[in-house]
Chains A and B, each alone.
Chain A
Amino acid sequence: MKKYFGKFGGQFVPETLVMALQQLEHSYLTVGKSRKFRQELGRLLRTYAGRPTPLYLAKKLTARGGGAKIYLKREDLLHTGAHKINNAIGQALLAKMSGKRRLIAETGAGQHGVATATAAALLGMECDVYMGSVDIARQAPNVYRMELLGARVIEVASGSRTLKDAINEAMRDYTASFETTHYLIGSALGPHPYPAMVRDFQSVIGKEAKGQFAAAEGGVPDALVACVGGGSNAIGLFFPFLNEKVKMYGVEAGGDGNGHAARLTGKGKPGVLHGMKTYLLEDRHGQIADTHSVSAGLDYPAVGPQHSLFMEQGRVKYAEADDSEALSAFHLLSELEGIVPALESAHAVAFALKLARGMGRGKSIIVNLSGRGDKDVDHVRKIEGER
């Protein structure tokens, strides 16, 4: 496997992890490509996770936009409520079949933690989830869900106390525990081979969407839209369309206009964090910046390395939606379509609505509705009550 996407990616990890990552790559290329693994993964995704997910034409949202047709890829309907389960089951099954007995994960919004805890319960594995104390406070229901599923949630109180720091702590755990433990990274980021492996597990989204769109409309859509935190739901949708004549838009969190999380559209520059060379937000001394977004899942100062390459190539356009645009879309989709989106996905919906307006009526957009908003209901009610 190639370690780099252009000049991005690589394997910037302490020596202890080099051997562990080589073993992981080997397992992925042998066990992970075996017929037995593919069959079992396919069966679990179908019968347990709820694949395929529908591709839904959102007529009222389309009418509101007044331009291109807006299709929603309904990853929010998956078991545990988001696309994260595609990757969690994939990696957990790989770990199990490679002889590991324990899973560790980081989580921001809690969706990946819940997905990992679920996969661990399903496959009979131990599970520890690292979560920043800021995120624990704003995503309390997910903490309890993970515990219900038998996982231990470990609070991370260092640094910015969000996703970035949870990843640091999970990597420290993995450095000492890799012999028995698999680190189940939740997005298409981290040291090689994670970005490629997670992308592959999430590509099921784009593969399905491609077939479903062809059946509904014929051909391919004119544009794809997805939110980008680490970037796994976006790359999962985009990847199978890379060689098609389709425009692609990744939507970053614009935050509240201050310490926002826009790495590809804002002040980001290439740097090295969490084992990879990629665009990231840092201060002028090279210290990683604290980010802020209303959605915990987009609150991350770096981005998956393949997105850095897509940005420099111009293959994907990156845009941002800020907190208030995301909150408006959160309400709008709930009221118009009866779908409460995750705040992360609401960023994509907000941008898609603007995009659709500027496109002709004969055109079509697929938006990856990466997760459902149940986890955000209390949080939104609270912040809107304060306003």
Chain B
Amino acid sequence: MRLSQMFSKTKGAAFMPYVCCGDPNPEFTLKLAKALAQNGADAIELGIPFSDPIADGKSVQAASARALVAGMTPEKAIGIIGKLRKEGIGVPIVAMTYYNIPFSFGEEKFAVELKKAGAQGLIVPDVPIDECGPLSAACRKAGLDLVQLATPNCSDGRLRKIAARTKGFLYAVSVVGITGARGRMDARAIRLVKRAKRMGVKVAAGFGISSPAQAREFEQAGADGVIVGSRLADLYSRFISGKLIGERRALAAASKFAREMKRACLG
């Protein structure tokens, strides 16, 4: 399913959880993604771990480090997307990683293989629109949506340019800072969603969102999607020891959280 189709058939805001691929092992990622999809996720953002994730806070940094120690690689992550498709997970999958990964892999090859495996989109937070030329071209050619990010400190002119370049949806970064659960949302983040909506694009808010109440706030501001990553990692990582995880309890906690978030996203 394309991202645009998913947004148009979703009531309220889409719930789009972020999962760090391979944390703490590939089998758990498959089970977690499946559990999320069965419990309300409208799309999955799948993180391909990078050694130096500068846009991420402690939770996703730790998740990435665990996944890398356990041997996750870009090739294996692409393989996991293929497996999710084979196992019948139909929701859109958007890969998220840092630029050195596709740059080292070969941008065209990376986009083609992601698409072939079954991904719909790609998010690369350290490539702003001014630097996205080669990656945009590679994604366009492969038929993959390269999602651009906008932030609360973007001027109207800058926001318009980002909205014009983005594919799939516009990622409204809901904090001034890095990822990680926040107790309160910044009023500027809500304003950013409203500003971006006026540009006629689908808008998903993410960074710092951790509770159903916050998701509802964004849904009411007009967001088409809500992305949650750190909070989810915090929930399941309590059950991790080394490469092992208490799967039953971890999946139960994640599923319960997904149902609560989905309910909030319905408005």
Contact = CB atoms under 8 A, between A and B. Distances in A.
Interface of A: 10-16, 18-20, 158-159, 164-165, 168, 171-172, 175-176, 179, 270-275, 282, 285-288
Contacts of B241: none
Interface stretch (B36-44, B85-93, B101-109, B223-231): B101-109
Given A172-B178, A285-B73, A287-B68, A14 B54 contact: yes
Given A164-B52, A175-B177, A175-B178, A18 B104 contact: no
B54 A287 contact: no
Nearest to B126: A12
A19 B155 contact: yes
Interface residues of B, number: 41
Given A13-B128, A14-B149, A158-B65, A286 B52 contact: no
A18 B98 CA distance: 16
Contacts of A165: 52
B54 A168 contact: yes
Interface string B67-84: 010000111000000000
Nearest to B153: A19
Contacts of A285: 73-75, 101, 104
A35 to B, nearest CB: 30
Given A159-B51, A282-B104, A15 B57 contact: no
A354 to B, nearest CB: 34
B104 to A, nearest CB: 3
18 contacts: A12-B128, A13-B54, A14-B54, A14-B126, A14-B128, A15-B128, A15-B148, A15-B149, A16-B153, A16-B173, A168-B53, A172-B56, A176-B175, A272-B100, A282-B104, A286-B105, A287-B51, A288-B51
Nearest to A287: B51
B99 interface: yes
B137 interface: no
Given A11-B128, A11-B131, A176-B176, A282 B52 contact: no
Contacts of A275: 126
A interface: dominant SS: mixed
B176 to A, nearest CB: 6
A13 B126 contact: yes
Contacts of B68: 287
Contact of A16 (B74, B127, B176): B176
Contacts of B251: none
Instruction: Report which residue of A12, A15, A271 has the largest number of chain B beta carbons within 10 angstroms of its beta carbon.
Output: A15
Given A168-B52, A171-B54, A14 B101 contact: no
Nearest to A169: B54
B103 A288 contact: no
Interface in B123-178: 125-128, 130-131, 148-151, 153-155, 158, 162, 173, 175-178
B52 A15 contact: no
Nearest to B53: A168
Interface in B188-240: none
Instruction: Report which residue of B73, B100, B154 has the largest number of chain A beta carbons within 10 angstroms of its beta carbon.
Output: B100
B149 A286 contact: no
Contact of A159 (B57, B65, B101): B65
B104 A15 contact: no
B104 A286 contact: yes
Nearest to B104: A286
A16 B151 contact: yes
Contacts of A175: 54-55, 176-178
A15 B50 CA distance: 18
B120 interface: no
Instruction: Report which residue of A10, A175, A272 has the largest number of chain B beta carbons within 10 angstroms of its beta carbon.
Output: A272
A179 B150 CA distance: 17
B61 interface: yes
A171 B105 CA distance: 25
Contacts of B100: 271-273, 282, 286, 288
Contact of A11 (B65, B125, B130, B175): B130
Contacts of B158: 18-19
Nearest to B58: A158
Given A14-B149, A172-B55, 13 more contacts: A15-B149, A16-B151, A164-B52, A168-B54, A172-B56, A172-B177, A175-B178, A176-B178, A274-B54, A282-B104, A285-B75, A285-B104, A287-B51
Contacts of B173: 14-16
A379 B147 CA distance: 48
Given A11-B128, A175-B177, A272 B103 contact: yes
B72 to A, nearest CB: 9
B184 to A, nearest CB: 14
A18 B150 CA distance: 11
Contacts of A19: 151, 153-155, 158
A13 to B, nearest CB: 6
Contacts of A273: 52, 100
Question: 9 closest A-B pairs (Cβ-Cβ)?
Answer: A286-B104, A176-B177, A287-B51, A16-B151, A285-B73, A288-B51, A14-B55, A15-B151, A272-B99
Given A11-B130, A14-B149, A15-B150, A271 B65 contact: no
B165 to A, nearest CB: 12
A285 B101 CA distance: 7
B126 to A, nearest CB: 5
B228 to A, nearest CB: 18
